[in-house]
Amino acid sequence: MKIKINQKDFEPIIDYNQIKKRIRLIGIQLNVAYENQHPVFVGVLNGCFMFMADLMKQIHIACEISFVKLSSYDGTERREQVNELIGLDANLEGREVVIIEDIVDSGNSLKHTLDLVNAQKPASVAVCTLLLKPYALKHTFDNIAYVGFEIANDFVVGYGLDYHGMGRTLPDIYREIKGKP
């Protein structure tokens, strides 16, 4: 089913059942990887809220949760500059850290988050992202360890991702339809 948000048309690409299955598998991987540790999961708001909430329901190990809030989009366009709206409030020194992202596309916000986290000298840092756009990356990362889905360089909404604040609460993920459908 196609949808319209602020005069843009979108079509579904990943339904909620696929998302739930993938999150269950990522949760198992994280439980095994951090079984005898006490990691801190750092969510990057606003986009991660649905993914992180569902993911944390699958985590059955001792852990802590923290958040940062960044802004790197202007509508559908990625900006080079990343604005930090809410800073990191947890002490990460010597800790195992897992950064939770909704999407990694250019990598600008992930680079900013990694700089914030690494400044505190954690024991390790892994990145867990629901969506990865490998062909949009402008940076190289060696710690993206958990990926839900690799997608094309399309603009997407739903399941936490928005367009001008709209579409975040959609359970499925949709991509923008370019040109005439």
Q: How confident is the model at residue 1 (pLDDT cuts 50, 70, 90)?
A: confident
Domains and CATH numbers, the chain: 3-28+38-70+84-176 (3.40.50.2020)
- Evaluate if residue 180 carries a pLDDT over 80: no
Q: What is the pLDDT of residues 17-63, one digit of tens each?
A: 999 999 999 999 999 999 999 999 999 988 899 999 999 999 999 99
HEC readout, 74-119: ECCEEEEEEEEEECCCCCCCCCEEEEEEEEECCCHHHHHHHHHHHC
- Catalytic residue among 54, 102, 105, 172, which? 105
Look up 105 and say whether it is catalytic: yes
pLDDT at 68: 87
HEC readout, the chain: CCEEECCEEEEEEECHHHHHHHHHHHHHHHHHHCCCCCCEEEEEECCCHHHHHHHHCCCCCCCEEEEEEEEEEECCEEEEEEEEEECCCCCCCCCEEEEEEEEECCCHHHHHHHHHHHCCCCCEEEEEEEEECCCCCCCCCCCEEEEEEECCCCCEEECCECECCECCCCCCEEEECCCCC
Q: What is the pLDDT of residues 81-120, one digit of tens each?
A: 555 545 577 889 999 999 999 999 989 889 989 998 999 9
Name the nearest CA neighbour of 161 among 62, 59, 13, 29: 13
- Evaluate if residue 6 carries a pLDDT over 80: yes
